[in-house]
A and B are shown apart, each in its own frame.
Chain A
Amino acid sequence: MKALCWYGPEDVRVGDVPEPRCVNPRDAVIRVTSTAICGSDLHLYNGYIPTLRAGDVLGHEFMGEVVETGPAVQNLQPGDRVVVPFTIACGGCFHCQRGEWSLCDNSNPNAWMAEALYGYSPSGLFGYSHLFGGYAGGQAEYVRVPFADVGPVKVPDGLHDEQVLFLSDIFPTGWMAAENCDIEPGDVIAVWGCGPVGLFAIKSAFLLGAAAVIALDRFPERLRLARAAGAEGLDYEHADVVEQLKQLTGGRGPDACIDAVGLEAHGTTADARLDQVKHATGLGTDRPNVLRQAIQACRKGGIVSIPGVYGGMLDKIPFGAAFAKGLAFRMGQTHVHRYMRPLLERIQQGQIDARFVISHRLPLVDAPEAYAMFRDKDDACTKVVLMP
């Protein structure tokens, strides 16, 4: 079958690989009908996430048709259309039972590796390095889905792939980022990064009752999409961000700040430049200047919500400011399973049309070019959907 494989930084290729099969009783095999490139795939593409191996199949946003199920999977039948959460969860551990699906104790076969780095292992993830399980991803014609009896959600008739594909990651991720802000009437939310997760966070914040959303980015087309979603756009390259956010909020500061950028933040400030130098010379792992800004800009007693991915040791975080202002931090991989069904209902009710983020639709064989285009934001690229 065809699959998009990683061979090194900025080297991904579509090759012929063996087809997957059910290995465990709770497995299913899915024929992928639509898959997407996530912003966090770019961290793999750019070589920021360790423990990838040459030949690993990427992709964690996908959906398709069930073609095979293991004997313990009773809720799915061959032919069912399903969306698959990017987090892999067993459903039986303490965290799964609390709805903290991305913290599943039992789905990472390489838990020892994550324990060595993080103390404890989070859940396994599709196509996201061996640190998170080494599972083959879904940018392929077929994919094996472990614990298929608790993960995939059936798609009701009448819904197009593109309407539901993003339930696999970015819609729940944007939603959880907004939900983590504990939005109350009158709240103003600032969102850094108007990529797909940031855009879904903006929409979600409004659906959860935010009075206003201020969106920060540097790309005109992304700011245009944010404004179309109802936010006020702010080009961070031409603004003193903290001062501007104070001005826009009557001096109070945003009630909550969402960092939808993560470890590869761009920026023109001195600390951002220093981060770039440190990363280029191997002295730093992440570029957290958006997180620094969010901490600085957030109002006293506010919340910093972090859906953007961080991987390693973050330098010069103004923790004194966070402490002095009594900030709360909410973060982590999305508990996708928790949100898929409620958000599917919102899609069915017409509260949101998830297709608004899509800029490109391409065949899977064009994935290498699509990665480069998405990374460089060429051709106003915001979201690429791939068809195997």
Chain B
Amino acid sequence: MTAAQTSRVEQVTDIVVGGALIALAVREQARGRFALAALGPGIAAQAFFPAVEQRAERSVTIAAPPDEVYRFCRDATHLGRAVPGLLDVRAGQDGDIAWRTRSPLGRAHTWPIVITGEQSPRLLAWRVRDHERPRGRFELRPAPGDRGTELHAVVHYVSRAPAALGATLRTATVDARLRETLRRLKTLIEARELPTTEGQPTGRRWRAAS
């Protein structure tokens, strides 16, 4: 964990969002005002503390040889299906890959991803253009006993003190997303589709059989 610089935009955003939550909390009719009253000052205070670089690390074993796993991961559209919460993946400018995500507030955000390291079939590294973080790396190794490929993934990202709860939530979120990404990659390669229960029958709205 190392200190990282907090940008002016992030500082202003923290103050505005934190202040808005405090303002909401003091309105008598606001629902959950006690939670907002606790959260608002925490977010606003973040603006005055340095960001902290953290890393999430996960691994998965995929029943396929390293070159097949590498080819699959190198294809941005494949990787796009594996990353939860991704709206779409497009070819960007200068060979970038544009990942579009949606924020919790519903705003779409584009991440121009630059490949910073390629050693087929062993290493694939990336970062967001013009930023040191977030950045990540996939390392591929043959699994022992001809069991396929071990994929070791590391993501470096920024979390800001002192909002301990916020930092913990962010760490948990990044870690969970990385774990889910690896799980989906494995499933897409081994099973060629993602299991789902989307659109299946349920009796959530009870109707007696006619």
Contacts and interface: CB of A to CB of B under 8 A. Distances in A.
B124 to A, nearest CB: 22
B209 A136 contact: no
Contacts of B191: 26, 90-93, 106-107, 147
A90 B199 contact: no
A25 B209 contact: no
A14 B209 CA distance: 6
A11 B185 CA distance: 39
B183 A5 contact: no
Which of B187, B194, B203 has its CB near the most chain A CB atoms (within 10 A)? Answer: B203
Interface string B167-193: 000000000100110010011001111
A15 B202 CA distance: 9
Interface string A31-57: 000000000000000000000011111
Contact of B63 (A16, A92, A108, A112): A92
Interface size class of B (residues with CB under 8 A): 20 to 34
Given A14-B209, A25-B193, A93-B63, A106 B186 contact: yes
Contacts of B205: 55
Contacts of B90: none
Interface in A68-96: 72, 88, 90-94
Contacts, number: 117
B204 A15 contact: no
Contact of B186 (A105, A140, A142): A105
Contact of A144 (B186, B200, B204): B200
A282 interface: no
B209 A16 contact: yes
Interface residues of A, number: 49
A317 B133 CA distance: 51
A14 B208 CA distance: 7
B197 A136 contact: yes
A262 to B, nearest CB: 26
Contact of B198 (A23, A91, A147): A23
B194 to A, nearest CB: 8
Contacts of A72: 192-193
26 contacts: A2-B209, A5-B203, A13-B206, A15-B209, A16-B210, A17-B202, A18-B201, A20-B200, A23-B200, A26-B191, A26-B193, A53-B202, A54-B204, A55-B204, A57-B201, A72-B192, A88-B195, A93-B63, A94-B147, A105-B190, A106-B187, A106-B190, A108-B195, A136-B200, A146-B195, A365-B209
Interface of B: 61, 63, 147-148, 176, 179-180, 183, 186-187, 190-210
Given A55-B205, A106-B190, A135-B200, 5 more contacts: A5-B203, A15-B207, A20-B200, A54-B204, A105-B190
